[in-house]
Amino acid sequence: MKIILRKDVANLGQAGEIKDVTPGYARNYLIPKGLAFEATPGRIKDIEMHKEFMDKRNAREIDEAKVLAEKVAGKAITIKAKAGEEGRLFGSVTSADICQALSAEGINVDKRKIELEEQIKSLGSYSVQVKFHPQVVATIDVNVEALE
């Protein structure tokens, strides 16, 4: 029996795939649990159209992300923060601070796309990744200086 998976099923496949399974497995487990539905010619056509639409949409998103990544790649921004005598900050530099510094230069980036490996709590230079898309990542340099 041919089925179309609605959700990812371990040891069977991922959502949207068309699989051939035994009728009992489909009728007694997959279909009642909402994990799959029977593959009719109309549904197969709908799935193929949906995949084509999603592929075009994903390609457009990747192109837009690449354009933004080219703007941001290699940028060096400076953030001034209050610091103690040993170079430790009174607080930390967050992704929101980096986002604000980028928007001051005319580049609007969502703060959730900025990935900090760890909190920036001391003066110095740091390399920070901005993830525009799962396949498109840019790196910026963040210099943290003492506020005088």
Average pLDDT (39-53) is 90
For range 117-140, the mean pLDDT: 91
Tell which residue, 84, 97, 95, has the closest CA to residue 146.
84
**pLDDT 10s digits, 92-127:** 999 999 999 999 988 888 899 999 988 899 999 999
Residue 114 is given by DSSP the state E
Inform me whether the pLDDT recorded for 147 exceeds 90: no
Question: In which band, very low, low, confident or very high, does the pLDDT at 47 lie, cut at 50, 70 and 90?
Answer: confident
Tell me which of 144 and 85 has the higher pLDDT.
144
3-state SS class at 134 = coil
Quick: pLDDT tens for 2-40.
Answer: 999 998 898 999 888 899 999 999 999 999 999 999 999
The domain covering 2-68 belongs, at the CATH homologous superfamily level, to: Ribosomal protein L9, N-terminal domain (3.40.5.10)
- pLDDT at position 19, please? 93
Parse the chain into domains and list their residue ranges: 2-68, 72-146
Strand residue runs (E) in 35-75: 36-38
Cβ atoms of 129 and 137 closer than 8 Å? yes
| Measured CA distances, 114 to 6, 101, 133 (Å) | 32, 12, 11
Q: Say what the pLDDT of residue 118 is.
A: 86
The CATH homologous superfamily for domain 72-146 is Ribosomal protein L9, C-terminal domain (3.10.430.100)
**Distance between CA 55 and CA 75 in Å, rounded?**
31
